[in-house]
Amino acid sequence: MKTKFLSLNLSRSLLPALLLAAPFALRAENVAVVGDTVYTLAVAPLKNGVVLVRDGKIESVGPAAAVKIPDGYRVLKAAVVTPGLIDAHGTVGLSGLLNQPQDQDMLEKSTAIQPELRAIDAYNAKDPLVAYVRSFGVTTVNTGHAPGALVSGQTMIVKTYGRSADQDVINPAAMTAVSLGRNGLTAPDAAPGQGAPSAKPPGTRAKAVAMLRAEFIKAQEYAKKREGKDEAKRPGRDLKYETLLRAIDGSQPLLVNANLQQDILSALRVAKEFGAHLVLDGCADAPLVLAEIKASGFPVILHPSMARSFQDSENLSVETAAKLKAAGIPFTLQTGYEAYVPKTRIIVFEAAVAAANGLGFDAALASITLDAAKILGIAGRTGSLEAGKDADLALFDGDPFEYTSHCTGTLVGGQVFADGPH
């Protein structure tokens, strides 16, 4: 399929669409999804393909001539069927529709370093923005604390059912969000009624990295003391250091937002010093340090294609995704965080722009489905249409990356949603 350049101002149409839409959902049921073209991301695209869904899982996938639709299955038809889309980093569910203090939980400003904060404790599954992104085929998001503090908290991976955080979560503690560069230098506000902030923010890049190193050293010392033979001398549990230690043992990587090349290199330097596992985030300057990123082995969650190029992101480009692909660096895309309304981007539009600027259709679709699932560690469940995986599907009436196409339906774990068309 040919993909045209996409240009769309979401903010003009977001609020009316949310206020007027009347989304409805059905319980997981047995469904046959028939598509003129089915992109499974496991085999070559299927012409006149069928995806059978039973009990929330994919039962079978194949051409219509080889897959018999059992009696009693609900049949859904679409021009194009893809795996459910995955937004690899955003703040939806923490940054809400109203854009008022009571629904903006994506950034705690009382201190500069707070890895112990958990997105799941703030995630609002019923915020209208969750349903809104689902209406564009997004079935999974890695969401949580926004850039704006040196260490702002932990992200979570969650399905977009819209039930509750505990019902919808896949991984309640996916990554720990770190910000280097301007985003990590933001001064914290005093907590209400508590006077001055509890920890001063770094004022320079060198100070930020030094503070991060100091916290890793304290975490290592804490671990040694906790393993001491004399139980009476062991320190009490410290959630901050327990979280940082998970970055060192690889069970919970650091999601390091770094855009300038010197900040990307600082992140790689710290990771090497402490054996920490990273996922690089943002990376506007990635083309300047492709060799270093590739040598590190760490994946990239690239900035939104249509983000604004200014300050640390002055070298941002719609062609960066294609350059990462050509260099053989694992990457995915994200919607990121914007401080203004509409509070969330839509990942399919970001991928469309990347597709039109060198990435191409197949790689762009993979970047927001299977490649995203691999980087998030959930490829065993979602990201491709294969028997046994979660029945997460997106249905379109045309090329998903063409701005005149619409998402006509979304399946999340076999549950059929009709929020659109959008």
pLDDT grade for 21, boundaries at 50, 70 and 90: very low
Parallel, antiparallel, or unpaired for β 138-143 and 85-90?
Answer: parallel
Q: What pLDDT shows up at residue 18?
A: 39
**3-class SS letters over 291-352:** HHHHHHCCCEEECCCCCCCCHHHCCCCCCHHHHHHHHCCCEEECCECCCCCCCCCCHHHHHH
Residue 281, domain member (yes or no)? yes
pLDDT digits (tens, 9 = 90+) for 128-154: 999 999 999 999 999 998 888 999 999
410, 414, 422: which is closest to 24 by C-alpha? 410
Looking at the structure of the chain, the number of domains it has is 1
> CB-based contacts of 239: which residues, under 8 Å, 6+ apart?
115, 116
Mean of all residue pLDDT scores within the chain: 90
Residue 418 resides in a domain: no
Q: What does the pLDDT read at residue 97?
A: 87
pLDDT tens-digit series, residues 344-363: 999 999 999 999 999 999 99
Q: Is residue 399 part of a domain?
A: no
Residue 43 maps to a domain: no
pLDDT of residue 197: 52
pTM: predicted TM-score of the whole model, two decimal places: 0.91
Confidence of residue 45 (pLDDT cuts 50, 70, 90): very high
Domain membership of residue 274 (yes or no) is yes
Instruction: Kindly list the distances between the CA atom of residue 382 and the CA atoms of 24, 44, 56, 411, in Å, as whole numbers in the listed order.
Output: 23, 17, 12, 12
Q: Are 247 and 254 in contact (CB under 8 A)?
A: yes
Q: Report whether pLDDT(99) > 80.
A: yes
Write down the pLDDT at residue 23: 44
pLDDT tens per residue across span 168-217: 999 999 999 999 999 898 755 544 444 445 567 899 999 999 999 999 99
Tell me the residue type at 2. Answer: K
User: For position 253, which CATH number holds?
Assistant: 3.20.20.140
Is the peptide bond between 421 and the residue preceding it cis, with omega within 30 degrees of 0? Answer: yes
pLDDT of residue 402: 96
At 205-251, the pLDDT tens digits run: 999 999 999 999 999 999 999 988 788 788 899 999 999 999 999 99
pLDDT of residue 303: 96
Residue 339 domain-assigned (yes or no): yes
pLDDT, average across residues 387-416: 97
**Domain presence at residue 53:** no
Residue 378 lies in a domain: yes
- pLDDT tens-digit readout, 303-347: 999 998 989 999 999 999 999 999 999 999 999 988 776 689 999
pLDDT at 19 over 70: no
As a whole number, mean pLDDT of residues 10-17 equals 38
* pLDDT over 50 (residue 272): yes
State how far the Cα of 419 lies from the Cα of 178, in Å rounded to an integer. Answer: 34
What percentage of the chain carries pLDDT values higher than 90? 78
Q: Is the pLDDT of residue 16 over 90?
A: no
> What's the confidence (pLDDT) of residue 148?
87
Quote the domain boundaries for residue 225: 85-382
Residue 11's pLDDT is 36
CA 420 to centroid of chain Cα atoms: 22
Mean pLDDT, to the nearest integer, of 363-380? 98
Q: How confident is the model at residue 367 (pLDDT cuts 50, 70, 90)?
A: very high
Examine the pLDDT at 293 and tell me if it is beyond 90: yes
Extended beta strands in 13-172, E state: 24-25, 31-38, 46-54, 57-63, 74-83, 85-90, 138-143, 151-154, 156-159, 169-171
Residue 232 is predicted with a pLDDT of 78
> 41-50, 155-164, 214-223, 227-236: lowest mean pLDDT where?
227-236
